[in-house]
Amino acid sequence: MARLALATGAPVVPLGQAGARRITSGSRTKQLAGLLTAPIRRPRLHVHLGAPIRLSGSPAEATAQAHCAVAAAWRTAAALAGAGR
């Protein structure tokens, strides 16, 4: 992704999500049960889109920039999931 963004100049939109494990995790049987009971349990799934960023530098530096942005978006989504919003 970093190489493509550097080559094209396209901005990267970091995305973080939290709560999907409450819907589908574990063995295949647990995943199916989680999907079937999700409407009753109503687990919260939070997604956060960060501000678009333009990557710069070497591919390694651009990858590090993207990683930091995605980690920040994930932390925001996780904080919202923990706050129950």
3-state SS assignment for residue 81:
helix
Residue-wise pLDDT for 2-30, tens only, equals 999 999 999 999 999 987 766 666 788 87
SS3 label, residue 52 = coil
Q: Reduced to 3 states, what is the DSSP secondary structure of residue 49? A: strand
Exposure of 21 by Cβ count < 10 A (0-12 exposed, 13-18 middle, 19+ buried)?
Answer: exposed
Q: What distance in Å separates the CA atoms of residue 69 and residue 2, rounded to the nearest whole number?
A: 12
pTM (global) more than 0.75: no
- Report the residue count for the chain: 85
Express each pLDDT in 34-63 by its tens digit.
777 777 766 677 899 999 999 999 999 999
| Residue recorded with tokens 């923990």 | 82
